[in-house]
Each structure stands twice: as C-alpha cells, then as structure tokens.
C-alpha cells in the first residue's frame, strides 16, 4: 500500500522529487492570479506561456473608458519631454477611438487604434511545474521589465503558500547555477 504524504516528512518528499526531477508531481498544485495594472505589451508576453489558463478583459465586448488607462514605462516617465509626447500620443489615440465608437464603429474595430500601452486585466491559472518554468525565464534580468515585475510579485505570493516547492524557483543562474543566455547574459 502506498504511504500517504502525511506519513512522510513533507520536506524530504519534495526535496526528493526535485532531486530526481519527477516534476510531473508538481502539476497537481496550481495557483490562480488576478493580474491588473499591466499593459497589453505585458499580457501578450504572458499568454505566450501555453501551459496555463487565461481569462482577459475583452476589448471587443468592453468599450474602453474615456480616458482609457495606460502604462507609462519608467524610462519614459523619467524623461520629461518624452513623457509629454507619450501622453499627447495617448490623447490622440483616445480621441480617434472615442470618435470611432461614437460613429457606431464596433469596439472590436475601434480598438485597432489603441496602443500596446493600454492597461488590461486578466485571471491566470498555472500549475507549479509551469510556474517554475515561468519564474526561470521571467524573473531573469533578460526579461522585459513589466513581465519581470509581474513574475516577481507572483513569485512572492506563491513562496508564502508553498516555500518548500518554490525555494527551488528563480532565474536559471539561481535555480540551475548557470545562465543559458550565452553572450547575451
Ligand atoms: C528574454 C526573452 C526574450 C524573448 N524574445 C522573444 C522574441 O524575440 N520573439 C518571440 O516570438 N518570443 C520571444 N520570447 C518568448 C519565448 O520564445 C516563449 O514563447 C515564451 O517564453 C514561452 O515559453 P515556452 O515556450 O518555453 O514555454 P511555455 O509555453 O510556458 O511551455 C512550458 C514548456 O512546455 C514545453 N512545451 C510547451 N508547448 C510545447 C510544444 N508545443 N511542443 C513542445 N514542447 C512544448 C516546453 O518545454 C516549454 O518550455 C522571449 C522570451 C524571453 C524570456
């Protein structure tokens, strides 16, 4: 008869699983995240991770508010002139979007003039195996700042819940002791 996990030392059990790389066991643990305050730039990168489930705010059925909210990258924010130009561009985009919606063009078509900077929100479920992979590539210094920030916040949340598993997570230089990025490292 199989021994139940409760009868074993959980710490030893997980450490053994990680050591022998029986990662399929991690697929029984999953986490669901509500993500908001990110741009469509970041969400596009998130949904490239195929072994996860997503529900994202629709730009077809939900008409954006006037003014729509958008993300300003820190490097643009710290440059006064660039920031002003950026905001002007968002206003122009807003004007055209609202004009189109006002003339009866459906939101699904009007949205073509919205920028990647537009804020979005989504719910995402990933199992622990996929999260380990996600943290490896998205907490890496090579990852784009916005998805890296998101990944780090997600990491902090799951670490509180399951530190025995996620103590092994992190960018490859930490979790595997070696950077796979070669000369781009
Ligand atoms: C720094 C960085 C730069 C990037 N630059 C670009 C870029 O310039 N252009 C671009 O298009 N993308 C880019 N990406 C995205 C990248 O190519 C992946 O699409 C993304 O990271 C999702 O990861 P993944 O495909 O490994 O894994 P996931 O989809 O999260 O899947 C997890 C793992 O499951 C396995 N798997 C999943 N699906 C399959 C399948 N169909 N067949 C076989 N095995 C599978 C693989 O082992 C995979 O690693 C970049 C990512 C990073 C982190």
Interval 144-182: pLDDT, tens: 999 999 999 999 999 999 999 999 999 999 888 888 888
Helix spans in 20-171 (H)? 40-46, 74-77, 80-102, 107-110, 128-138, 145-161, 163-166
**Alpha carbon nearest to ligand 1 atom 18, residue:** 48
**Alpha carbon nearest to ligand 1 atom 22, residue:** 49
Interval 70-85: pLDDT, tens: 999 999 999 999 999 9
CA distance 18 to 93: 49
DSSP state of 118: B
Measured between alpha carbons, how far apart are the two ends of the chain, in Å?
A: 49
> How far does the centroid of ligand 1 lie from the alpha carbon of residue 75, in Å?
26
Q: Quick one: which atom of ligand 1 is closest to the CA of 52? A: 30
Closest C-alpha among 154, 170, 125, 139 to residue 27: 125
The answer to whether domain 8-57+118-180 has CATH 2.60.120.10 is no
Domain ranges of the chain: 8-57+118-180
Q: Cβ(49) to ligand 1 under 6 A? A: yes
CA distance 59 to 116: 12
The predicted model scores a pTM of 0.92
Q: Residue 111: what pLDDT?
A: 96
CA distance 93 to 51: 34
């Amino acid at each position: 008869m199989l021994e139940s996990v409760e009868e074993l030392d959980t710490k030893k059990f997980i450490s053994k699983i990680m050591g022998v790389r029986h990662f399929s066991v991690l697929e029984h643990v999953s986490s669901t995240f509500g993500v908001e305050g990110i741009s469509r730039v970041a969400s596009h990168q998130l949904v490239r991770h195929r072994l996860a489930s997503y529900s994202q705010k629709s730009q077809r059925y939900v008409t954006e508010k006037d003014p729509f909210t958008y993300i300003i990258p820190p490097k643009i924010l710290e440059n006064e002139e660039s920031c002003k130009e950026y905001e002007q561009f968002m206003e122009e985009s807003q004007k055209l979007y609202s004009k189109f919606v006002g003339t009866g063009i459906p939101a699904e078509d009007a949205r073509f003039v919205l920028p990647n900077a537009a804020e979005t929100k989504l719910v995402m479920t990933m199992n622990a195996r996929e999260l380990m992979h996600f943290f490896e590539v998205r907490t890496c210094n090579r990852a784009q700042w916005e998805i890296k920030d998101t990944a780090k916040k997600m990491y902090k949340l799951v670490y509180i819940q399951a530190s025995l598993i996620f103590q092994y997570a992190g960018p490859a230089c930490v979790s595997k002791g070696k950077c796979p990025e070669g000369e781009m490292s």
